[in-house]
Structure formats: C-alpha cells, structure tokens
C-alpha cells in the first residue's frame, strides 16, 4: 500500500514490545515520548486536535488503537466501522505519528503503565479510561485537550444516517 502522507522506511504498526524497545532508544537519545489511546474509527477534527496536541507535547508520538472487541463492548455491535488493522494503518501513515500499536481491552488496561510515556494526552471528556492517575506520580505528565464541539465519530455516523435517510449527500 502506498502511503499518501508519509513514506515510512520501517514498519510503524508494531507490538508493545517493539514500542518499549523504540522508546528506550529514543530516551537514550534524549527524546521525550507522548502517548494517546483511542478508537480512531472515523477520523475527524477532534482526532486531529488530539494528535496535534500529542505531537506538540513531545519529540515522538505513540498511538494505541483500541481493537474491535474493545470498541464493540463500549459502543455496540455496529462499531467499529473500520477494523483495527485498517485504523492502525491509516494512523501510521500520518506524519506526526511515530508508532501505532493495536490493543485489546485487557492489554489496554496496563499498556500506559507498561510503556510509561513522558506525556499522556487525553481528551477532556475521557480522563477516566486513561490510567493517568497511576502514571502521574511516576513522572508522566497528563495533557488534557479540549473537546471540539460536535466532533465525534458517533455524531458523524448519526449525520451520515440522517443524510442518507433524507436522500442527501452521503458519498465522499
């Protein structure tokens, strides 16, 4: 597959073990690492605001993508729209993102603690899932990003359904 936004020389969708190894190398070079975890099902301006804030907060950015089972358990059977592997590849193609890892719910519960980023980026409406309260004492700094009004995958899906039911434009 050809990347439209960034031609990566090395694979950027990796395992947690690879994330830890790369973070060790980066830190050895004096670089800081930010992390963010999310569904990233249908990219929208709210996701871009989070990714921009994460990119600005550190020298390197690692993104944890919630797997299909995790999203389905939280959001229902109709979600995710895109499988985790596709979502991970789309994110890995964005220039600000250095590494992407797909996480199941069990791994997600401990992942932030396992990789211990210097900065954990959170949406202001989703701090409870982050594990930030565990990491802050260890030196991880939390950055809370304001929610972009109306920017959510659920609202985007609802808008597509409404426009489709009304015969409006749904192709893009």
Mean pLDDT of 116-124: 88
Q: How far apart are CA 93 and CA 67, in angstroms?
A: 18
154-171: pLDDT as tens digits: 666 667 767 666 666 644
pLDDT at residue 1, as a whole number: 42
Pairwise CA distance, residues 163 & 157, whole Å? 10
Specify the pTM: 0.80
Closest-CA residue to 15 (of 101, 90, 92, 109): 101
- What confidence score (pLDDT) does residue 9 get? 44
For residue 144, pLDDT over 90 is answered with: no
pLDDT per position as a tens digit, 20-35: 999 999 999 999 999 9
**What are 105's two structure tokens?**
């719910």
Scan for tokens 């609202």, then name that residue: 155
Q: Which CATH code for domain 16-165?
A: 3.40.50.620
């Amino acid at each position: 597959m050809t990347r439209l936004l960034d031609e990566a020389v090395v694979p950027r969708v990796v395992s947690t073990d690879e994330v830890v190894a790369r973070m060790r190398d980066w830190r050895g070079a004096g670089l800081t690492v930010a992390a963010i975890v999310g569904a990233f099902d249908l990219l929208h301006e709210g996701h871009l605001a989070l990714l921009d804030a994460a990119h600005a907060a550190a020298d390197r950015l690692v993104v944890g993508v919630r797997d299909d089972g995790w999203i389905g358990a939280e959001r229902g059977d109709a979600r995710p729209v895109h499988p985790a592997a596709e979502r991970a590849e789309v994110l890995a193609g964005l220039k600000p993102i250095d590494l992407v890892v797909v996480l199941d719910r069990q791994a997600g519960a401990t992942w932030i603690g396992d990789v211990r980023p210097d900065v954990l980026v959170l949406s202001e409406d989703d701090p409870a899932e982050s594990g930030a309260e565990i990491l802050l004492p260890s030196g991880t700094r939390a950055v809370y990003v304001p929610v972009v009004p109306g920017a959510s995958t659920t609202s985007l899906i609802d808008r597509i359904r409404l426009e489709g039911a009304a015969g409006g434009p749904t192709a893009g």
